[in-house]
Amino acid sequence: MIYQRLKMKKLSKKCFQIALIALFTFTMPSYGSEQPWYNSIISEKRLYNMSVAATNFAMGIRTIINKSIMATNPDKFIKMYKNRLAQIEKNIRTDEQNQFYEIAKEHGLRDMDVKTGLEIINKINLSYRESHNKLNPNAVHDKNISPELFSILQKKLAEGNIDIKNVSVTNSDIPSPDGFDAENRHSYKYTYAIAQDGSIPFAAYSNEEPINIIFYPKFHLHNKSIQQGSCIHEATHVIEGHNVTQGIVATLIGGVTQKNPSDVKESKSFQKLVQIHERQAEVLPSLKDREAASLMREDRFTGYYPNMLYGEHYLQLSDIDETHKMIAYLEDIKKYPPNPYHPYY
């Protein structure tokens, strides 16, 4: 009897949580997906599938209602939706900047150290982007990569002014030790100088070996859509220079605190930065491209990213995907306005 009561209590709690997910998905998806309390509801693995189903159900009803309301003034609502997408990008980039301060706080850095560190990071990232213009003759392309996937990588990298001729794209016969389907990695060096007044007169990035996008055996077990989404995901990491940023942050903090950079990378605040970068790898391309938004949503529909991205991330991808669809719908309304004299209008 006691066991049955406990079981019913747990079931009631789950139902309440799913009801909250549906409620906030329906009313305030952009707001809900960025709230810590909301994240805590659906970060549990056992609730993921239920949260995804609740999200899709609530999004469907919300879209039906919005279409009838917003068709009356498409220009107004197209502008509103585009502003929403711009705000999401601003928020996720602000999250990254704020996390630098959280990392500094956890490791006891002074304000002066933080200011100097951020200037170094910004200048080396600028040098990283400028380096994309230099030809790297050591880049290799695995002939077993399908032309379609190669084309997706090429197009996405080009958006960041990166020529795929400077990037290696390879298959690995050995599974990833970290369980990844795909990843990007490369060896690089950076140098900088700090003047007496604390300014950074010089900071530069260099690499002899090209960035390498690697596909592991697990990657080839996925369907076409998930493979395409993974290509966009990895290309975005390369464009944003996430590996470089993480490496610089860990090394700079290690230099100031005498900690091993590998220990810094294991700290709670640093892992939060990694999580933000994983979000960016899927949110940023989704904001810019309707097809990418659909691919990313489909990928996360099939499963979460262990220890990184759960239901709140799926909610945000869904909100972005539905926003693109609403913009396209309203654009069609502008081109082909409904006839009020039609008998079925």
The structural domains of the chain, with segments of one domain joined by +, span 1-97+302-345, 108-266
Decide: 133 and 297 in contact? Cβ < 8 Å.
no
Strands 189-193 and 202-206: antiparallel
Q: Give the whole-angstrom CA distance, residue 248 versus residue 270.
A: 12
- Cα atoms in the 13 Å half-sphere on the side-chain side of 56: 10
Tell me the whole-structure pTM to 2 decimals.
Answer: 0.85
Angle of helix 268-288 relative to helix 74-106, nearest 10 degrees? Answer: 160
How big is the chain by its Cα radius of gyration, in Å? 23
Decide: 56 and 318 in contact? Cβ < 8 Å.
yes
262-293 pLDDT, tens digit each: 999 999 999 999 999 999 999 999 999 999 99
pLDDT number for residue 48: 79
| SS3 assignment, position 83 | helix
Q: What is the pLDDT along the chain (345 residues), one digit of tens a residue?
A: 444 444 444 545 555 555 555 555 545 555 555 555 455 545 556 677 888 888 888 888 988 999 888 988 999 999 999 999 999 999 999 999 999 999 999 999 998 899 999 999 999 999 999 998 788 889 999 999 999 999 999 999 999 999 999 999 999 999 999 889 999 998 899 999 988 887 899 899 998 889 999 999 999 999 999 999 999 999 999 999 999 999 999 999 999 999 999 999 999 999 999 999 999 999 999 999 999 999 999 999 888 887 788 888 999 999 999 999 999 999 999 887 766 555 444
Q: Give the whole-angstrom CA distance, residue 189 versus residue 204.
A: 8
Could you tell me how far CA 238 lies from the centroid of its own chain?
Answer: 12
| Residue 108: Cβ within 10 Å count | 11
pLDDT number for residue 238: 96
